[in-house]
Amino acid sequence: MYSDKVMEHFMNPRNVGEIPDATCTGTVGNAKCGDIMKIYLKIEDEVITDAKFKTFGCGSAIATSSMATEMIKGKTINEALDLSNKAVADALDGLPPNKMHCSLLAEQAVKAALKEYYERNGLINESNRHIFADTDDHDHENEDF
Amino acid sequence: MSIEKYNIFIVNYYRMYDKVKQMTDTKKKIYLDHAATTPVRSEILDVMMEHFINNFGNPSSIYSRGVEAKRNLENYRKDIASSINALPEEIFFVSGGTEADNWAIKGSAKANIKKGRHLITSAIEHHAVLNSFKSLEKEGWEVTYLGVDNYGLVDPDDVRKAIRDDTVLVSVMMANNEIGTIQPVAEIASVCKTAKVIFHTDAVQALGALHIDVKESGADMMSFSGHKIYAPKGIGFLYVRKGVKIASILDGGGQEKKKRPGTENLPYIAALAKAVVIAQNECCEMSDRLTSMRNDLFNKVLSRIPHSRINGSREKRLPGNANFSFEFIEGESLLLLLDSMGYECSSGSACTSGSLDPSHVLLAIGLPHEIAHGSLRVTFGKDSDPDDIDGLVDVLEVIVKRLRDMSPLYEDFLNGKLSEPHCMLTGDSSYCKSNEGCIRV
């Protein structure tokens, strides 16, 4: 069902845990749907110096959390905002169709954390507001892959 | 095939076989999903083989090979009938539990349409039953879905109240495939008999675990499957009590008293007959053994893993069935990690059901979605070893802790942020043995 890479990240997830002095955090999903992702970021000079996660969810939810945090570490906040669910899924050599939802959750968790940072630092403007628009709710019906 | 090619084939075959065997030997797998399917027993395989190569005739043919096949077929039918206290003409061979359920429900509904178009079933049936009813609903039938209590039990009085003048059929399973709850089938059958309504029960999970006597059960129709009792997949039978009207749902030849067309699958029927006879002979002894293993597992899990609960009833339960929920974690992750440690189990989480909702059975017994997502089903079989239970619980304890350590829900719970502890549900000693802030309602 899962690629070897998904299984490898699920069995040995990178960046599990909390960052006690995190610059910002983002939580998406809900328990009713069976998946919640919380991402912690440490940001210095607009560069993500550390990223950690905690996830309640299936194998692919944990694997996408692991991969997404790996992909944004060392990136600038602007680069991290470009992280797409497809890029996360591709980096894991693909996900089964009914699990693409998990990669979207990972993308949204990163954006939710960055939103907190952007808001606090007054960085939200007309050109980036739309990027943060869909991090607030968790609605399966709007998912389109 | 030339002899050279054949030799190469054989050499390659044995190389492959050795490789597979090495792989399986080095990593011992412990199969704990007997409610999903079972391996074929060697003595059952032996009786099948005869009908693949030598006695392969079509029971409808008139030459002696066909006549022999026909005689075998009817003998297998008699073996099954006598072991469940039925008449041979009440046994119809089908492709498995799903077909038996489809046929019983759609066939009897359509044959008795003059009486009315109302049907009754329960909320925790197998999808073969539930979706047969859904399909009839689309054709204009009205279906009442009876709720169950927190243990998954249907109240026979609810059946009585739901029956109307135009009710044609009631279908309630004998034992549930997920939580193992055994229904008061004889009482429900008696309610239906009084009201002159046909009663069907899906006995797929019950066979092999409970001793089946069709007269005692009182059912008009019962569905059975082979692969849950060490026969192959793709074979089963429907018991239809003499006098019950049922229409054919397949068109074809005149097999099975013109009720179920298709050349009889003699090798598999041979296997099924053998499996049913063994199941009926062995179930009492096996039942005691599996019940004690299961209770051992219940006690060890509840005492060692906090925030865990047993789903279903402790008493009215299939011997080999255990079903747990572990709070703050998700079932598919649990299964994958268990598999990596060599334990093969199943779950009612949404991720394993292929939909966004967790198991309809767990929701029907009142579990909130988040608890249903964290469920684990362990089902023992004839070769299960009681010595494997300690190993399973050791592994479970570690895996549950590992998943909780990475769960934001558990973090919230520890920080007192979860306003309502999830392990609420009904008051029963089998629920939530934790000592940290769980409320019993």
| Test mutation, B351, B411, B423, chain A, max A CBs within 10 A | B351
Q: What is the pLDDT of residues A21-46, one digit of tens each?
A: 999 999 999 888 889 999 999 999 99
Q: What pLDDT score was predicted for residue A132?
A: 84
Whether the predicted pLDDT of B3 surpasses 80 = no
- Residue A76 contacts residue A47 (beta carbons within 8 Å): yes
Tokens standing for residue B194: 């009084």
Task: Show which of residues 305-334 on chain B sit within 8 Å of chain A, judged by CB atoms.
Answer: 328-333
Q: What pLDDT score was predicted for residue B120?
A: 98
In angstroms, what CA-CA distances link B32 with A59, B29, B121, B211, B374?
20, 9, 29, 22, 17
Whether the predicted pLDDT of B429 surpasses 50 = no
Whether the predicted pLDDT of A19 surpasses 80 = yes
What whole-number percentage of chain B has pLDDT above 90?
Answer: 84
- Would you list the DSSP string of A50-75? EEEEEEES-HHHHHHHHHHHHHHTT-
| Test mutation, A53, A56, A99, chain B, max B CBs within 10 A | A56
Determine, for residues A98 and B332 on separate chains, whether the beta-carbon distance falls below 8 Å.
no
Which residues, other chains included, contact A125 with Cβ-Cβ below 8 Å and sequence gap of 6+?
Answer: none
Catalytic residue (choose from B192, B283, B284, B351): B351
| Test mutation, B325, B329, B336, B410, chain A, max A CBs within 10 A | B336
pLDDT band at B110 (very low <50, low <70, confident <90, very high): very high
pLDDT band at A144 (very low <50, low <70, confident <90, very high): very low
Q: Does B40 reach chain A within 8 Å, measured CB to CB?
A: no
Q: Which residue has the higher pLDDT, B280 or B7?
A: B280
Query: Residue A53 pairs with which residues in a beta bridge?
Result: A16, A39
The region of weakest confidence among A46-60, B6-20, B26-40, B210-224 is B6-20
Please enumerate residues of A whose Cβ is less than 8 A from a Cβ of B: 7, 10-11, 13, 16-18, 27, 31-38, 53-59, 61-62, 98-99, 140
A24 tagged catalytic = no
pLDDT band at B211 (very low <50, low <70, confident <90, very high): very high
Average pLDDT, chain B: 90
Q: What is the pLDDT of residues B180-193, one digit of tens each?
A: 999 999 999 999 99
- Residue A53 contacts residue A18 (beta carbons within 8 Å): no
B330, B356, B368 member nearest A56 (Cβ): B330
Q: What pLDDT score was predicted for residue A101?
A: 86
Q: Which residue has the higher pLDDT, B346 or B434?
A: B346
ipTM passes above 0.95: no
Catalytic residue (choose from A12, A33, A120, A133): A33
Q: What is the pLDDT of residues B369-384, one digit of tens each?
A: 989 999 999 999 999 9
Q: Which residue has the higher pLDDT, A145 or A40?
A: A40
Determine, for residues B333 and A10 on separate chains, whether the beta-carbon distance falls below 8 Å.
yes
Residue B336 distance to chain A (closest CA, Å): 7
Provide mean pLDDT across the span B125-143. 97
B-chain residues near A17 (CB < 8 A): 406
Provide mean pLDDT across the span B142-168. 98
B432 tagged catalytic = no
Whether the predicted pLDDT of B427 surpasses 50 = no
Q: What pLDDT score was predicted for residue B26?
A: 53
Provide mean pLDDT across the span A9-25. 96
Whether the predicted pLDDT of B82 surpasses 50 = yes
Q: What pLDDT score was predicted for residue A34?
A: 87
A-chain residues near B340 (CB < 8 A): 11
The burial class, CB within 10 Å (0-12 / 13-18 / 19+), for B168 is buried
Residue of B nearest to A59 (CA): B333
pLDDT band at B431 (very low <50, low <70, confident <90, very high): very low
What order of strands is seen across the sheet that includes strand A24-30? A24-30, A35-44, A47-56
What whole-number percentage of chain B has pLDDT above 70?
Answer: 87
Q: What is the pLDDT of residues A82-140, one digit of tens each?
A: 999 999 999 999 999 888 888 999 999 999 999 999 999 998 888 888 888 766 555 55
pLDDT band at B11 (very low <50, low <70, confident <90, very high): low
Whether the predicted pLDDT of B425 surpasses 70 = no
Tokens standing for residue B322: 């255990």
Query: B2-40: b or e for each residue (b if 16 or more CB lie within 10 Å)?
Result: eeeeeeeeeeeeeeeeeeeeeeeeeeeebbbbbbeebeb
The burial class, CB within 10 Å (0-12 / 13-18 / 19+), for B171 is buried
pLDDT band at B263 (very low <50, low <70, confident <90, very high): very high
d(CA B104, CA B124): 18
Q: What is the pLDDT of residues B278-319, one digit of tens each?
A: 999 999 999 999 999 999 999 999 999 999 999 999 999 999
Q: What is the CA B412 to chain-centroid distance, rounded?
A: 37
HSE-up (13 A, CA, CB side) for residue B42: 1
d(CA B269, CA B8): 35
Determine, for residues B333 and A62 on separate chains, whether the beta-carbon distance falls below 8 Å.
yes
The backbone region for B302, taken as left when phi is positive above 0, alpha when psi lies in -120 to 50, beta otherwise, is alpha
The region of weakest confidence among A75-89, B13-27, B82-96 is B13-27
Whether the predicted pLDDT of B136 surpasses 90 = yes
The single-letter code of the amino acid at B225 is S
Determine, for residues A16 and B332 on separate chains, whether the beta-carbon distance falls below 8 Å.
no
Provide mean pLDDT across the span A40-63. 96
pLDDT band at B423 (very low <50, low <70, confident <90, very high): very low
Determine, for residues A27 and B408 on separate chains, whether the beta-carbon distance falls below 8 Å.
yes
Whether the predicted pLDDT of B421 surpasses 80 = no
